[in-house]
């Protein structure tokens, strides 16, 4: 399975760069930047990574991101992720970054974008991995702050291809960001949003109708609403599903209960993704492997999931 999976060409469309910060690199960066950490060593940090819901995870994720200070740090983080992609047959990626996680700590946006973009450019040249960067707004902050972030990023418009929406879902519906998404789309940016991870199917309807997104990130709770499933099938809206993340954050209690293969069999355009691999126990192929081990995913289903990811990318070479 391992070799076969590695050889299967895939795209990853739902990956938070800050969530690819492995404990080893986190400790290295803390030392380089002379930051003291609340964890004694890498093992205690790994133990802390055992979180039980989205908010618990996010608190840890924002704390971890605090070690990212210099342009080189953002480069190293992105490069480490791209090396994983190469090892696993990921030929294309469209990663997210959260500008506000950094600008709120006083890190200039230019530094963040420069480090990430340089690594993505080197990934194209040296590893043959094509990519497009997505700027994600934090939904627990205001729409006004999202507008300010978009304006601040516009001098680097050529460095990203779209906008997304992440962080705490419940209580922060897509409707809160309708105007800033309209502005982003008017700038020619693609639009995606996390919806239906912890939030109800109504949030997926809003993401489609109000934000006019082209892909839904997660979207697993769509299965509670047959009319919504029909629409997603009819319009072939890609859903970027993250199996290991969903089990870790208790969207499903156990991988054997995950509905991704039923979604695929319904005709939904689902893809497999790792979300925050450093925190959830694996990169793309570990997610595929888990579907094989717990749900009996066939090779034909794996091929279809991989093909969906290539079909659903925004950037084509």
> Least distance (Å) from ligand ADE to the CB of residue 126?
27
Among residues 5, 10, 12, 16, the one that binds ligand ADE under rule CB under 6 A: 16
Q: Which of 12, 71, 197, 198 is catalytic?
A: 197
Find which of Zn ion, ligand ADE, none residue 19 binds, CB within 5 to 8 Å per kind: ligand ADE
Among residues 13, 276, 287, 290, the one that binds ligand ADE under rule CB under 6 A: 276
Tell me which residues in 102-161 interact with ligand ADE (CB under 6 A): none
Among residues 45, 88, 275, 305, the one that binds Zn ion under rule CB under 5 A: 275
Tell me which residues in 238-267 interact with ligand ADE (CB under 6 A): 245
Binding pattern to ligand ADE, positions 54-73, x when CB under 6 A?
A: x------x------------
Task: Determine, following the binding rule CB under 6 A, whether residue 19 of this chain makes contact with ligand ADE.
Answer: yes
> How far, CA to CA in Å, does 51 sit from each of 8, 145, 247, 273?
31, 28, 11, 19
**Binding-site annotation, residues for Zn(2+):** 14, 16, 194, 275
Total residues contacting ligand ADE (rule CB under 6 A)? 11
> Least distance (Å) from ligand ADE to the CB of residue 100?
12
> Least distance (Å) from ligand ADE to the CB of residue 66?
15
Dihedral angle computed from the Cα positions of residues 87, 190, 178 and 276, in that order, rounded to the nearest 10 degrees: 0
Task: Determine, following the binding rule CB under 5 A, whether residue 94 of this chain makes contact with Zn ion.
Answer: no
In the annotation, is 197 catalytic? yes
Q: How far apart are CA 38 and CA 81, in angstroms?
A: 25
Among residues 10, 102, 194, 221, the one that binds ligand ADE under rule CB under 6 A: 194
> Least distance (Å) from ligand ADE to the CB of residue 276?
5
Task: Determine, following the binding rule CB under 6 A, whether residue 94 of this chain makes contact with ligand ADE.
Answer: no
> Least distance (Å) from ligand ADE to the CB of residue 218?
7
Active site residues: 197
Q: Where does this chain bind ligand ADE (CB under 6 A)?
A: 16, 19, 54, 61, 166-167, 194, 197, 245, 275-276
Q: Where does this chain bind Zn ion (CB under 5 A)?
A: 275
């Amino acid at each position: 399975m391992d070799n076969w999976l590695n050889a299967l060409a895939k795209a990853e469309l739902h990956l938070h760069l800050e969530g690819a910060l492995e404990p080893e690199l986190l400790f290295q960066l803390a030392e380089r930047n002379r930051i003291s950490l609340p964890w004694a060593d890498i093992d205690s940090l790994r133990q802390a990574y055992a979180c039980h819901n989205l908010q618990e995870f996010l608190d840890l994720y924002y704390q971890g991101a605090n070690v990212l200070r210099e342009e080189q740090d953002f480069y190293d983080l992105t490069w480490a992720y791209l090396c994983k992609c190469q090892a696993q047959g990921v030929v294309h990626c469209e990663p997210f970054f959260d500008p506000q996680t950094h600008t709120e700590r006083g890190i200039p946006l230019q530094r963040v974008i420069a480090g990430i973009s340089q690594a993505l450019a080197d990934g194209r040249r040296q590893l043959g991995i094509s990519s497009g960067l997505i700027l994600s707004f934090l939904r627990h902050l205001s729409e006004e702050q999202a507008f300010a972030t978009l304006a601040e990023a516009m001098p680097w418009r050529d460095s990203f291809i779209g906008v997304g929406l992440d962080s705490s879902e419940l209580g922060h519906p897509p409707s809160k960001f309708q105007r800033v998404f309209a502005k982003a789309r008017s700038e020619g940016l693609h639009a995606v949003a996390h919806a239906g991870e912890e939030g109800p199917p109504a949030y997926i309807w809003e993401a489609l109708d109000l934000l006019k997104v082209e892909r839904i990130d997660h979207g697993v709770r769509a299965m509670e609403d047959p009319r919504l499933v029909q629409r997603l099938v009819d319009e072939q809206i890609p859903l970027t599903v993250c199996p290991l993340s969903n089990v870790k954050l208790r969207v499903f209690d156990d991988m054997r209960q995950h509905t991704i293969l039923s979604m695929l069999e319904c005709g939904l355009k689902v893809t497999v993704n790792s979300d925050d691999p450093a925190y959830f126990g694996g990169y793309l192929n570990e997610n595929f492997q888990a579907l094989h081990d717990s749900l009996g995913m066939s090779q034909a289903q794996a091929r279809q999931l991989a093909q969906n990811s290539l079909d659903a990318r925004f950037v084509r070479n």
